[in-house]
Structure formats: structure tokens, C-alpha cells
């Protein structure tokens, strides 16, 4: 259990979820089980957690960690974007809370053969479910190696700009194309060195390859598409009064969560200049975090990877509140 990490913003998540003994909660990114452990402990003696993760290796560690709660914890190897279908196997159609802790896990970053980090030499892979699919056989996404070696330059530029907000995207893509004509790019450190050679010295306070690695990982795993789908299904699964907590680690994720919460909390989504509301939109959420919550200095000191975390939370509205808000919006 030396790999057990500290769950980010765990106390704040519990404050929003308010786990109850008769509650059912979904941890859509169970990872090594830190948040699930806290929820199960707080919802004793009967609270139930359904833990979902793409990474079978992480699930195996989480299973060991959550063994004391095995009678009220179910772990599923899958994608949280498909949680509605996954929960059907347990005849669950509504839940009291959902947590999504996004991004790459400590286990993935610290395992060289997963290819997520430029700090370790390993194959340029980055697939969150590993090199095999969820069934252990089929490949469900192209490894980062194939994207880097086979994509046209324009595609690489788009990936680095769109998902990494990398200002030197064109220079980096050109250097990659030049390098791969001489030799296939197969390892993380080889790729990081190529990126570094394309970026002017002292152009950034962070490692020159940071944003490019982030962009490539997001593209390979379709992280933003999964987030959008996952938010929709999570909101639909919540019981009235149920809470959705989302922890993000970069601006693209946080922007998606913020806008989805705002749309679901609005009584009208007509274009701004529409004189009379015609959308008939009904609010389904109450936003609980006017601004995202972030770790305090003591948590960042204990866990450096928590420094960029942001937590947003929203609660599913009761039907009578939805009706009142809709009436008020037309008055």
C-alpha cells in the first residue's frame, strides 16, 4: 500500500456530498480509492459507493485499499461517461452523489511504462486503460506514439493548441516532423527532448514539454469529450437534492464544468437579445461554488500535485424549486 496517495480536497468533497448511511454514491474516477474510502467511512454503516475507473491496475490497488468496505463497495472497470449503462448491472437508476476527479493519476505518472511523464523514460503510450482495451484484448485508442509519428503537421499543431494552449505549437510540430523523418519517436524522454529543442530558452517557468504532454494525453484519451458526456449522465442520475462534485486540474476542464453548471442552473438560455423567453428551459441544478474551491497552503505542502486542483459543486434541484424558478424567470 505504499502507492496510496492523498485524495485532493477530500474534506471539501465530503462537505458537499454529505454522505448518508442510506445513500448511493458514484466515484467516477476511483483511482487508488482515496475519495471512495472517505465517502464510505463517512456514510457508515450502510452507505454504498460504485467506483469506476478505466485503469485496471489502479482498480486492483483500490480493491485492496477498500477491502474493509467490500460489502458496500462495487468497483467497475469502465468509463465514467458510460456510468448510466454501467450502473444498470446493479439495477441503479438514481444516486445521491457523484464525484469526478479528473486528469492523470499519481500511479500513471509514476509508472514509466505507461508513458505519461517526461520525468521517466518509457514508451510513448498515455492510454489510461493501458495498451489493451477494457476486455484485456482490443485496443480502444491509438497510443501517443502513433499520433506523434503518423499525424500530419497541421493535426499536431491543432492538438497542441486546442488541448495544451501551447503558443509554440507550430514550431514544435515542425520539429517533430523533421525528427521523425530520421527516426521513429518511441519514448517519452526522446519526445520531450524534441519538444524542448523547439522552444526558446526561458520561454516558460515550467518544463517546455508540459503543455504538449498534456495535450497529447487529452487527445489520446478523448478526455474533454468524455467529460462533457459524463457531466450530462451524472446530472441525469442524481436524485433531487443529490450533489455533483468535479475536481479539475487545468483551465479547459474547468471551463467545461463551469459552463455546464451555469447552463443547468439557468431558468433561461435564450440568446441575450431575445426580447421574450422562448426556450422553455428549466433549471436542474443549484450551483454551490460561486468560485471554484482550491487547496490551501497546507494541503499543497503535503501534496504538491494538488496545487492546480479546482473543485466545483452543484446540487440537483427539487421539482418544486424548479417550478418556482421557472415561474420567477417569466415574471
78-91: pLDDT as tens digits: 999 999 999 999 99
Q: What percent of the chain has pLDDT over 90?
A: 75
Instruction: For the beta carbon of residue 165, count every other beta carbon within 10 angstroms.
Output: 14
Asked if residue 316 is part of any domain, the answer here is yes
Q: Which helix H or strand E contains 123, and what residues bound it?
A: none
190 and 147 within one domain: yes
What mean pLDDT value characterizes the chain? 90
Residue 192 sits in the same domain as residue 254: no
Residue 31, CA distances (Å) to 146, 163, 169, 227 in order: 26, 23, 31, 16
Residue 51 pLDDT? 97
Please work out, in degrees rounded to the nearest 5, the angle formed at the alpha carbon of residue 180 by the alpha carbons of 177 and 182. Answer: 120
The residue assigned the cell 497541421 is: 154
| 164/192 same-domain check | yes
Whether 56 shows a pLDDT value over 70: the answer reads yes
pLDDT of 64? 95
pLDDT digits (tens, 9 = 90+) for 67-78: 999 999 999 999
Averaged pLDDT for residues 291-313: 94
Cβ contacts of 92 within 8 Å, gap of 6 or more: 24, 50
262: in domain: yes
* Predicted local confidence at residue 304, as pLDDT: 86
pLDDT tens track for 163-219:
999 999 999 999 999 999 999 999 999 999 999 999 987 766 788 999 999 999 999
Q: Is the pLDDT of residue 93 over 80?
A: yes
How far from chain centre, in Å, is Cα 211? 17
pLDDT (average), residues 297-316: 94
Which is higher by pLDDT, 285 or 277? 285
Does 192 lie in the same domain as 49? no
* Residue 233: inside a domain: yes
The CA–CA distances, whole Å, from 144 to 125, 139, 147, 196, 295 equal 5, 13, 5, 17, 31
- Supply the pLDDT for residue 267: 87
Question: How high is the pLDDT of residue 327?
Answer: 38
pLDDT at residue number 276: 84
CATH number at residue 174: 1.10.150.170
Same domain, 209 and 235: no
pLDDT of 320 > 80? The answer is no
Residue 119 lies in a domain: no
CA atoms within 13 A on the CB side of 140: 16
Q: Are 246 and 311 in contact (CB under 8 A)?
A: yes
Spatial strand order in the sheet of 310-316: 73-77, 48-53, 24-27, 95-101, 238-248, 310-316, 285-287
**pLDDT attached to residue 6:** 81
Give the CATH number for residue 83: 3.40.50.150
101 and 233 in a single domain? The answer is: yes
Please give the average per-residue pLDDT across 290-299, as a whole number.
95
Q: Indicate whether 213 and 241 sit together in one domain.
A: no
Claim to verify: residue 215 and residue 241 sit in the same structural domain: no
Same domain, 156 and 170: yes
Structural domain count, the chain: 2
Asked if omega into 119 is within 30° of 0 (cis), the reply is: no
pLDDT of residue 140: 52
227 in the same domain as 187: no
Domain stop point among 189, 221, 253: 221
Residues 171 and 29 in one domain: no
CA distance 22 to 4: 28
Asked, for residue 123, whether it belongs to a domain, the answer is no
CB 120 within 8 A of CB 112: yes
Predicted local confidence at residue 259, as pLDDT: 96
Sign of CA dihedral 298, 300, 302, 306: positive
Q: Could you give the CA distance from residue 315 to residue 17 in angstroms, rounded to a whole number? A: 9
The number of beta carbons lying within 10 Å of the beta carbon of residue 81 is 23
Q: Domain end: 221, 255, 273, which one?
A: 221
Domain presence at residue 208: yes
SS3 readout for 179-207: HHCCCCCCEHHHHHHHHHHHCCCCCCCCC
Q: For the CA atoms of the chain, what is the radius of gyration?
A: 21
* Structural domain contains residue 137: no
In the three-class reduction of DSSP (H, G, I as helix; E, B as strand; rest coil), residue 326 is classed as: helix
Domain holding 305, by residue range, is 10-106+223-330
| Paired strand residues for 312 | 246
- Does the pLDDT at position 299 exceed 80? yes
Q: Crossing angle of helices 188-198/210-221, nearest 10°?
A: 130
Confidence of residue 103 (pLDDT cuts 50, 70, 90): confident
The answer to the question of residue 133 being in a domain is no
Is residue 270 within 8 Å of residue 277, measured between CB atoms?
yes
Q: What is the pLDDT of residues 1-39, one digit of tens each?
A: 444 568 999 999 999 999 999 999 999 999 999 999 999
Sign for the pseudo-dihedral over CA of 193, 194, 199, 201: positive
CA distance 31 to 291: 26
- Looking at per-residue confidence, does 82 or 106 come out higher? 82
Question: Binning pLDDT at 50, 70 and 90, where does residue 324 land?
Answer: very low
**Which of 171, 198, 221 represents a domain boundary (last residue)?**
221
Long-range contacts of 200-208 (CB under 8 A, 24+ apart): 200/168, 203/168, 207/118
Q: What is the pLDDT of residue 313?
A: 98
43 pLDDT above the threshold of 70:
yes
- Asked if residue 228 and residue 316 are part of one domain, the reply reads yes
Amino acid at each position: 500500500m505504499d502507492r496510496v496517495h492523498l485524495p485532493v480536497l477530500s474534506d471539501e468533497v465530503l462537505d458537499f456530498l454529505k454522505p448518508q448511511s442510506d445513500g448511493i454514491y458514484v466515484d467516477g474516477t476511483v483511482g487508488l480509492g482515496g475519495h471512495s474510502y472517505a465517502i464510505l467511512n463517512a456514510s457508515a454503516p450502510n452507505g454504498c459507493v460504485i467506483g469506476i475507473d478505466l485503469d485496471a491496475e489502479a482498480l486492483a490497488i483500490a480493491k485492496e485499499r477498500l477491502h474493509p468496505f467490500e460489502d458496500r463497495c462495487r468497483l467497475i472497470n469502465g468509463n465514467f461517461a458510460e456510468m448510466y449503462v454501467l450502473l444498470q448491472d446493479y439495477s441503479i437508476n438514481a444516486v445521491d452523489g457523484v464525484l469526478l476527479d479528473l486528469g492523470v493519476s499519481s500511479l500513471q505518472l509514476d509508472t514509466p511504462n505507461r508513458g505519461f511523464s517526461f520525468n521517466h523514460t518509457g514508451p510513448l503510450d498515455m492510454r489510461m486503460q493501458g495498451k489493451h482495451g477494457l476486455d484485456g484484448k482490443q485496443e480502444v485508442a491509438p497510443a501517443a506514439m502513433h499520433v506523434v509519428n503518423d499525424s500530419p503537421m497541421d493535426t499536431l499543431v491543432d492538438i497542441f493548441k486546442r488541448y495544451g494552449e501551447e503558443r509554440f505549437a507550430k514550431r514544435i510540430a515542425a520539429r517533430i516532423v523533421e525528427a521523425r523523418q530520421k527516426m521513429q519517436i518511441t519514448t517519452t524522454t526522446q519526445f520531450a527532448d524534441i519538444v524542448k529543442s523547439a522552444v526558446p530558452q526561458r520561454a516558460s517557468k515550467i518544463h517546455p514539454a508540459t503543455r504538449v504532454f498534456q495535450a497529447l494525453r487529452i487527445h489520446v484519451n478523448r478526455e474533454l469529450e468524455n467529460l462533457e458526456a459524463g457531466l450530462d449522465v451524472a446530472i441525469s442520475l442524481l436524485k433531487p437534492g443529490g450533489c455533483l462534485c468535479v475536481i479539475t486540474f487545468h483551465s479547459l476542464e474547468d471551463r467545461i464544468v463551469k459552463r455546464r453548471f451555469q447552463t443547468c442552473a439557468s431558468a433561461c438560455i435564450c440568446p441575450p437579445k431575445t426580447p421574450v423567453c422562448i426556450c422553455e428551459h428549466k433549471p436542474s441544478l443549484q450551483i454551490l461554488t460561486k468560485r471554484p474551491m482550491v487547496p490551501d497552503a497546507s494541503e499543497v505542502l503535503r501534496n504538491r500535485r494538488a496545487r492546480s486542483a479546482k473543485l466545483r459543486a452543484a446540487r440537483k434541484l427539487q421539482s418544486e424549486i424548479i417550478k418556482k424558478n421557472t415561474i420567477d424567470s417569466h415574471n
